[in-house]
Amino acid sequence: MKCPYTGATTTVDPIVIDPMVRDLAGETARLVAAGPVVPIDLLGVPAWSVTRHAVARELLLDPRLVKDLSAWRLWREGVVTREWPLITMIDAGRSMFTVDGADHRRLRSKTAQALTPRRIEALRDDIAAFTRTLLDAMEEAGRDGAPVDMKAVFAQPLPMQVVCLLLDVPEESQPWLADGYKRFFSMLTPHEERLEILETFDRWYLDLIRERKANPGDDLLSALIHSEEGGEPLGEDEVLGNLKALVAAGHETTIDLITSAARALLNHPDQLELVLSGKVSWEAVIEETLRWDPANTHLLMRFPTEDLTVGDTVIPRGDGVVMSYRAINRDPEQHGADADSFDVTRELPIRHMAFGHGPHICPGAALSRLEAAIALPALFERFPRMRMAVADEEIQNLPVMTQNDLTAFPVFLG
Rounded Cα–Cα distance for residues 44 and 235 (Å): 36
Sheet order of strands, 37-42 included: 15-16, 37-42, 45-50, 321-323, 299-304, 65-66
- Report d(CA 2, CA 8) in Å as an integer: 6
Rounded Cα gap, residues 106 and 279, in angstroms: 44
**pLDDT, block means (10 residues), the chain with 414 residues:** 48 89 97 97 97 98 96 97 93 88 89 88 97 98 96 97 93 91 94 94 95 94 80 86 87 95 98 98 98 96 97 97 98 97 97 96 94 98 98 97 96 96
**What is the amino acid identity at position 60?**
L
Within 203-251, strands assigned E span none
End-to-end CA distance of the chain: 55
Q: What pLDDT, on a 0 to 100 scale, did the predictor assign at position 229?
A: 60
Task: Name the residue among 249, 40, 283 with its Cα closest to residue 159.
Answer: 249
Asked whether the CA dihedral 295, 300, 306, 312 is positive or negative, the reply is: positive
Query: Whole-angstrom Cα distance, residue 123 to residue 110?
Result: 20
